Structure 1
């Protein structure tokens, strides 16, 4: 029988009820104001011919489509994305997917889907499927891309996003509001900063370890017997359900961030069902949790440094040294001077802003600097609003379950104490809280590593961001997994700040359009300006 929706909906009350999952946040550097032109750099000075000239089979349009309903205005309004380009159409649908593709657990989930197209999008063009993993909901990632300043990709073909189980517009999971501690989710988001340690003389590590243990107990008990059905491998099964529902032989996939895990798992399980694969700003794959976290922290620090340079050049409200001003604000949050805003909440708002694909970059940088400067003077109203948006975008119960399910080799409390000291010196803005947050999943049941393809013949395009605050610099890891599978591949660098690259850069989108349309990869080692 169908899985009862009510069984996954224990309401968490501390977030604004009207706010749904947001996309890649408030605002980043945005695209270059000049036309994007690909720059190809080769150390030997030779001219590279594009690879994959024969090309894989072309994408096919769905034979049996989903029941799409227009949701343009409501989606844009709820996500705060503005009007979007003229004629943009966003359509919503639901897809029923079995809890367990092997039939060991009966029942199904309802997955939320979003389709985006423009007036010039060919009516008969086959769609490209977007998945953003657990970083952001896939539907909100697509909505932000569609409403952004770059349009070549959407003009060439429709894009369809499918949310992971329990995330975004899919059947929600709400397991972190137990009657014994109705604020458990909020305490986790704040990494226990305002929560008493569980033992006398305990520290923040003890507090977060206890919060993560309680959350794991609540969510695994709540989800039984399908508590282990929320990892990237099961998300790949859901993409296979979309493919069979459509009645097509192959899918073209655009995977952003930790969506790379989902796409690679799909390619591992169904190598013959992949027609195109774009790994846009992918997270580190097949690595332990500490390595993945440090990769992300490096991206956050690089993005903050880029923002600080832009802010200083604009003579923003943070003064001549915006980076120092932000660090001072973080220290004040740590001292409780911004209460109820914790250091982790402030970091979430910063990351949310630094990843945004909004095009009005200079105005947005000034506005964000104004909010931070006001918080420094004691007026935290604007910052509180941004924290609420960041929490809604990144901190749902479903995202907690998915991240814990995807992770491997969570560190011990002793190791986290070491990382706090080390990362506090090397990554002062984001490092200490990133180390502490690893304990939230330390009690989660151990699961198998997410599969990666052992053999893959389809050409793969990887986009590497220079300052990515969501996925960090994980592109090399993803490219390594592709190379190990024997697939022809090419890596294109995007030199800007934000996540994902395709939401910011017309140059990146044009490269994706060419590859998806022809199966031909651009020369390896090219770059798009920021």
Structure 2
């Protein structure tokens, strides 16, 4: 495990400081706010960013409740590169989660996107409930770390819901979309080019649906569909067979890891645990080295190697503080945004478990293979929202809404289990002539993590057209 641990350490530093980045006109500041009253007071406190002084940081004040019924404001950290007169305008990079801040990754993403920054001003911000303003749920953070799938303790869910209280309803994607439009106005009231990764791709699409006239281009990396994530993960479950077999072929293994996975789940009923491990392990090794052997032995009754992988991912990969990825924000946003087998967060809690069980009984082996129906209905994020207090949910775009007719690049990796490319192709059907790039050997978050430069080059070419 020594070499893998080293790779994990490097990969988990995805938003660590990258020295030596040189950009045009660093620290030139923000554009004047077109209408400070409309923009929630504009961006204040402009100064060099504490951890990256070549960039300018400030704070955007936004209302806690965009509907105006509940008083209060939030201060969202914002960071920009220089080049306030960039000919192609502002490029807003949206991070994932939900729960991941943007400002700590400014230097990292400026380095990744440097070839386009003579034409764009890069903007990143800490979405509400993240970073220095992270929603704090210590028990849930300990149980889930950075995972969507790990199963938390019910007490951790209850403690988190109690800690957030009724204000949890103000941390939906609709609220972040409204924040982004205030940010756009504060930056100079121009159209935005949006580059979103994972959950950030969902936010980008929701912004484009809500404000189509304010969008110039969209880069959607590791695509979450605009309808929201599937709480049953019925794309990722069967995609596991494709991904593991491709990785096995690439590394010359001689077993069938998909068949061994199916046998393991039948034998031990541990589908959620294995899926959580695999979804985390892709960040350590997109070739899933050691996984086929562990699954083959587990299928034959020897689970030591599989358990070692599960423990490794839990201890070394899926760890994150609330400031790095807030599980409180993650839960509040997903529960507010999503449709579940029981309905939405506005459905009475008492009937949800029965509805989930009816769904499990209706699922077929073909829908969930190489897992089982219990895996589909037992994922951590679903179980968090199963017990989440009832609350009014924000309106969402109609399922038939199409994104505005602007250039769109869809970017995915063929080893991605978090957002498999099957979802990307489904989403492409709702877009006007999208460009699609699938990067061989790449897992989740292509621009940040892929060793193959093909995806980043596609982004440069697309943004500089």
Please say whether Structure 1 and Structure 2 have the same fold, judged by a TM-score greater than 0.5.
yes
Report what 2:102 is aligned to.
139
The counterpart of 2:414, out of the listed 444, 466, 491, is 466
Structure 2 vs 1, CA of residues 354 and 288 (structure 1 numbering), >3 Å: closer, same or farther? Answer: closer
Shift of 1:240: 1.3
Preserved contact between residue 93 and residue 194 of structure 2 (Cα < 8 Å): yes
Correspondences of 1:221-300 after superposition (within 5 Å):
221-286=162-227, 289-290=230-231, 293-300=233-240
The counterpart of 1:63, out of the listed 31, 55, 60, is 31
Correspondences of 1:362-401 after superposition (within 5 Å):
376=305, 382-389=312-319, 396-401=327-332
Q: For 2:312 and 2:294, how far apart are their aligned partners in 1?
A: 6
Preserved contact between residue 137 and residue 163 of structure 2 (Cα < 8 Å): yes
Gaps of 5+ in 1: 1-21, 28-60, 74-88, 196-210, 314-318, 336-341, 519-530
> What do the CA deviations read for 1:485-516 (whole angstroms, capped 9, x no partner)?
xxx54333434431223332533323322332
Q: For 1:24 and 1:236, how far apart are their aligned partners in 2?
A: 29
Preserved contact between residue 188 and residue 440 of structure 1 (Cα < 8 Å): no
The counterpart of 2:445, out of the listed 496, 500, 512, is 500
What's the secondary structure of 2:377's corresponding residue? helix
> What do the CA deviations read for 1:425-457 (whole angstroms, capped 9, x no partner)?
6132x9743421234323544624533766724
Structure 2 vs 1, CA of residues 218 and 354 (structure 1 numbering), >3 Å: closer, same or farther? Answer: same
Preserved contact between residue 31 and residue 84 of structure 2 (Cα < 8 Å): no
Q: For 1:367 and 1:174, how far apart are their aligned partners in 2?
A: 36
Preserved contact between residue 237 and residue 369 of structure 2 (Cα < 8 Å): no
Q: For 1:405 and 1:330, how far apart are their aligned partners in 2?
A: 34
Q: For 1:25 and 1:240, how far apart are their aligned partners in 2?
A: 30
Preserved contact between residue 133 and residue 232 of structure 1 (Cα < 8 Å): no
Corresponding pairs, count: 399
Report what 1:510 is aligned to.
457
What's the secondary structure of 1:409's corresponding residue? coil
Correspondences of 1:14-413 after superposition (within 5 Å):
62-64=30-32, 66-71=46-51, 94-113=59-78, 125=86, 126-135=89-98, 137=100, 139=102, 142=105, 146=109, 152=115, 157=120, 159-167=122-130, 169-175=131-137, 177=139, 190-191=150-151, 211=154, 218-286=159-227, 289-290=230-231, 293-310=233-250, 312-313=251-252, 320-321=254-255, 323=257, 327=261, 344=272, 347-355=275-283, 376=305, 382-389=312-319, 396-411=327-342, 412-413=355-356
Under a length normalisation based on structure 1, what TM-score does the superposition of the two structures give?
Answer: 0.60
Structure 2 vs 1, CA of residues 423 and 370 (structure 1 numbering), >3 Å: closer, same or farther? Answer: closer
Q: Which moved more, 1:265-274 or 1:445-454?
A: 445-454
Preserved contact between residue 90 and residue 122 of structure 2 (Cα < 8 Å): yes
Preserved contact between residue 134 and residue 258 of structure 1 (Cα < 8 Å): yes
Shift of 1:272: 1.9
Q: For 2:13 and 2:375, how far apart are their aligned partners in 1?
A: 21
RMSD of the alignment, in Å? Answer: 4.8
Q: For 1:427 and 1:144, how far apart are their aligned partners in 2?
A: 41
Shift of 1:220: 4.8
Structure 2 vs 1, CA of residues 135 and 24 (structure 1 numbering), >3 Å: closer, same or farther? Answer: farther
Gaps of 5+ in 2: 1-8, 15-28, 33-42, 298-302, 343-354
